[in-house]
Copies of this chain bind each other. A is one copy, B any other.
Amino acid sequence: MALLERHVFVCHNTRPEGAPRPSCTADGKSELFTQLQQFAKAANLGGKVRINKAGCLDQCEHGPTVVVYPEAVWYGAVKPEDAEEIVSEHLVGGRPVERLRLAETCVNTKECPHRQPAS
């Protein structure tokens, strides 16, 4: 068992009201986290995959955001109802869910066309 096969981080950051960049906490992130945990458990992924809360993943315009390691697959605008597909397709089947993936041109770059100025 030892090292995890996959480690999934769900952004749980909350920005203060009125902050220039958006915060996606109100968009069902807690439910998304819970759903991912429950579907992972139902798929007997305990000990192989961990679903983790994370602080700000800095992809705020694309939230709710999820990143899966070690393969560094980033998902954006993930809804609780997407949890089952992420678990069955990606975490069990090893096939990332392409319709939810963030484009590389959006991840971790200020050149992302959706990014809002920080101030």
Which residues of A are in contact with B by a Cβ distance under 8 Å? 1-4, 7, 9, 12, 47, 50, 52-58, 67, 69-72, 74, 104-105, 107-109
| Inter-chain contact A2/B53, CB cutoff 8 Å | no
Chain B residue nearest in CB terms to A74? B3
Instruction: State the oligomeric state as a number of copies.
Output: 2
Instruction: For A67, list chain B residues within 8 Å (CB).
Output: 7
| Inter-chain contact B3/A72, CB cutoff 8 Å | yes
Contacts known (A69-B7, A72-B70); A55 close to B108, Cβ less than 8 A: no
**Could you jot down 7 A-B contacts, CB within 8 Å?**
A3-B108, A9-B54, A12-B55, A53-B56, A70-B70, A70-B71, A70-B72
Chain B residue nearest in CB terms to A4? B108
| Inter-chain contact A108/B2, CB cutoff 8 Å | yes
Contacts known (A2-B108, A7-B72); A54 close to B52, Cβ less than 8 A: yes
